[in-house]
């Protein structure tokens, strides 16, 4: 029985990992030739959540309601603090670390560079963790490369859909699991850029 369960988990995991789709929808990466640094900006407020595609504010309200039904305001406050830390720190750290590990171009926030990558979050499925069984998060983003001094000049756009966030043993914290989806996004993007260049 354990072998059957393990086989199922491995196959399911492979299906999830392979579900990510990344596509260059406009432009090309020629402008990055010879560049050594890339500024990165993260945007979350237009994100939607779950299959129902509820808004960012509705997601926060949903989490608050869930916490207040089972726990206390203090528990929600702790979650909300962790959520903001995830968006402000964990997601950028995971994304940038993965980009820099897989690309020769150094990516960071607040750089004075010719080009900027805007990571716009489109959709998030937080996934879930149940010990033996779990489901990875999924993150969809729009990755826009713009001229820093004139951000209306969009040089390339990449659509990344359903980037999975998890590891083999599962990630219990929803926010950490979501952050892993950004690490996967960055890895795939960096490899795409390196291949095209």
Q: Chain-wide mean pLDDT for the chain? A: 90
Which tens digits make up the pLDDT trace of 14-29? 444 447 899 999 999 9
Number of domains composing the chain: 1
Predicted confidence band of residue 7 (pLDDT cuts 50, 70, 90): very low
List, for residues 52-68, the tens digit of each pLDDT value.
999 999 999 999 999 99
CA dist 159 and 119 (Å) reads 10
Provide the domain limits for residue 51: 2-196
Q: What is the DSSP string of 117-178?
A: EEEEEEEEE--EEETTEEE-EEEEEEEEEEETTEEEEEEEEEEEEEEEE--TT--SSHHHHH
Of residues 27, 56, 77, the one with CA closest to residue 196: 27
- This prediction's pTM: 0.88
Q: How confident is the model at residue 126 (pLDDT cuts 50, 70, 90)?
A: very high
Percent of the chain with pLDDT over 90: 81
Q: What is the mean pLDDT of residues 171-187?
A: 92
Instruction: Place 10 in a pLDDT band, splitting at 50, 70 and 90.
Output: very low
Partner residues linked to 48 by β-bridges: 55, 123
């Amino acid at each position: 029985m354990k072998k059957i369960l393990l086989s199922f988990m491995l196959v399911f995991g492979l299906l999830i990992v392979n579900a990510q789709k990344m596509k260059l929808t406009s432009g090309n990466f020629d402008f990055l030739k010879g560049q050594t640094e890339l500024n990165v900006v993260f945007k979350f407020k237009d994100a939607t959540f779950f299959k129902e595609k509820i808004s960012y504010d509705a997601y926060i309200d949903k989490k608050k309601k869930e916490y207040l039904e089972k726990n206390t305001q203090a528990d929600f406050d702790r979650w909300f603090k962790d959520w903001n830390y995830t968006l402000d720190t964990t997601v950028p750290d995971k994304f940038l670390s993965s980009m820099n590990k897989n690309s020769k171009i150094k990516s960071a926030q607040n750089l004075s560079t010719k080009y900027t990558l805007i990571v716009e979050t489109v959709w998030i499925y937080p996934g879930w963790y149940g010990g033996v069984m779990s489901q990875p998060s999924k993150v969809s983003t729009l990755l826009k490369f713009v001229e820093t001094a004139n951000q209306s000049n969009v040089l390339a756009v990449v659509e990344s859909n359903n980037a999975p966030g998890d590891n083999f043993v599962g990630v219990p914290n929803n926010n950490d699991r979501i952050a892993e989806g950004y690490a996967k996004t960055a890895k795939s993007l960096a490899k795409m850029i390196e291949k095209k260049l």
